[in-house]
Structure formats: C-alpha cells, structure tokens
C-alpha cells in the first residue's frame, strides 16, 4: 500500500532493488459483453493447494519476462492457504490438454473482486485467447454480489496490458511506484528473466 507521496524529480533506489509504475483500475458495474472469437478445445480448470506445482509452473511460464515474482517468494504454506481458500478462484486456461493461461479471482473482501492474476503463455498472446479469458473473468466476477471489480498492472507487464484492461471496461483510478528487492539477485527468478528491467548487481 502507498506511503508518503513522492516529490517531483529523480529518486535513487537502494542497491539491489527494482522499481515499477503500478496503475490500479476498477469497474463499478458489469460492462456490455465484447465479441470473442470462437476457440475450440478451451476450458477452465480450478487449481487448489493440491496442485501447487501446476500453479507455479504456469505462473513461471507466463511471468518469466513480466517480472511476476510475488508467488515465487511466498512460503508454500501461505500459497497453499490462498489456493485452498474457497473465496479465491485460481483457474488454468487449458487448450488441447496444455495450460495456456492463468486467471485468479479473489473475493476475500466483501462486495469486491480483485483480478489478482491474468495472463497467457507467450505464444498465445494475440491469438484471441486473452479476450476469451477476460470475458470469463468478467462473467465470473459479476456473477457474485460484488460492487467493485479491480485489477492492477505495471510497467513490467505486457505493453498492451493497460489498453486491454481499459477496452475491457476498467478505468484507472490510482498510480503508484513499487520498490522491491530484485528477485533475480536473490535467486528467486533466473538472472536472464525480464531483460527489459535492468539488472544491476551491487557486487
């Protein structure tokens, strides 16, 4: 959560840290459905704590070059608690038996749904699978008694992500800067991951 607002100008990071600009978006009512191309052989499968390895494999496949690390640095016990929570839907998008996308909806705050994870493996980006998956996300979120559906994206995400969320009906409401130890320096991600984020080794 944000602390004191940054003052204008440049701000040096602590050694071994990364920073990215985070945009928070929300929708306060279900939008009109958008057309989706037909996709054969596609389904959604819920992943529970018993499928932690499957979840992490898909998380890594999607997030390798998007600086997805939050679930990689989490203890197995904490991750299992999330995956096993009945108010969290962690869903694999499956096509012809292969996991190609991840959708996670978090209903743990009353009246609110967070789109906590949304993504496709790289070779599915631009295939129409993202629109199909977003339509599913919106349908599932608003099928519950919520008043707000929200998501955040960041400057490490796919360049088209922000515009895609806005076309889907989300509207930006806050911008923050996140500073975090670089997971590549801590061995939590490969050193060659996310090459668009400069790797500065204090050593």
Q: What pLDDT was estimated at residue 1?
A: 57
pLDDT (tens, 9 = 90+) of the chain, 203 residues, equals 556 788 999 999 999 999 999 999 999 999 988 888 778 889 999 999 999 999 999 999 999 999 999 999 999 999 999 999 999 999 999 999 999 999 999 999 999 999 999 999 999 988 889 999 999 999 999 999 999 999 999 999 999 999 999 999 999 999 999 999 999 999 999 999 999 999 998 87
3-state secondary structure 65-80: CCCCCCCCCCCHHHHH
Q: What pLDDT was estimated at residue 199?
A: 93
* Nearest in space to 65 (alpha carbons), one of 152, 150, 159: 159
CB atoms within 10 A of CB 142: 15
Residue 87 to residue 80: CA distance in whole angstroms: 13
Q: What pLDDT was estimated at residue 127?
A: 83
Helix or strand holding residue 81 (H, E): helix 76-83
Q: Map out the domains of the chain with their CATH numbers.
A: 17-29+42-181 (3.40.630.30)
């Amino acid at each position: 959560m944000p602390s004191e607002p940054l003052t204008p100008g440049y701000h040096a990071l602590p050694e071994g840290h990364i920073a990215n600009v985070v945009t928070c978006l929300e929708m306060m009512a279900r939008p009109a459905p958008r057309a989706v191309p037909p996709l054969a052989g596609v389904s959604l499968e819920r992943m529970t704590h018993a499928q932690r390895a499957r979840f992490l494999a898909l998380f890594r496949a999607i997030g390798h070059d998007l600086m997805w690390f939050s679930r990689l640095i989490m203890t197995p016990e904490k991750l299992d608690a999330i995956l096993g929570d009945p108010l969290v839907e962690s869903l694999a998008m499956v096509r012809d038996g292969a996991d190609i996308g991840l959708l996670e909806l978090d209903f743990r705050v009353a009246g609110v749904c967070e789109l906590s994870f949304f993504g496709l493996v790289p070779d599915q980006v631009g295939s129409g699978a993202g629109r199909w998956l977003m339509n599913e996300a919106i349908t599932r979120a608003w099928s519950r008694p919520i008043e707000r559906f929200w998501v955040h994206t960041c400057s490490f995400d796919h360049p088209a992500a922000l515009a895609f969320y806005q076309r889907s009906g989300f509207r930006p409401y806050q911008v923050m800067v996140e500073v975090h130890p670089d997971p590549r320096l801590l061995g939590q991600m490969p050193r060659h991951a996310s090459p668009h984020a400069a790797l500065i080794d204090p050593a």
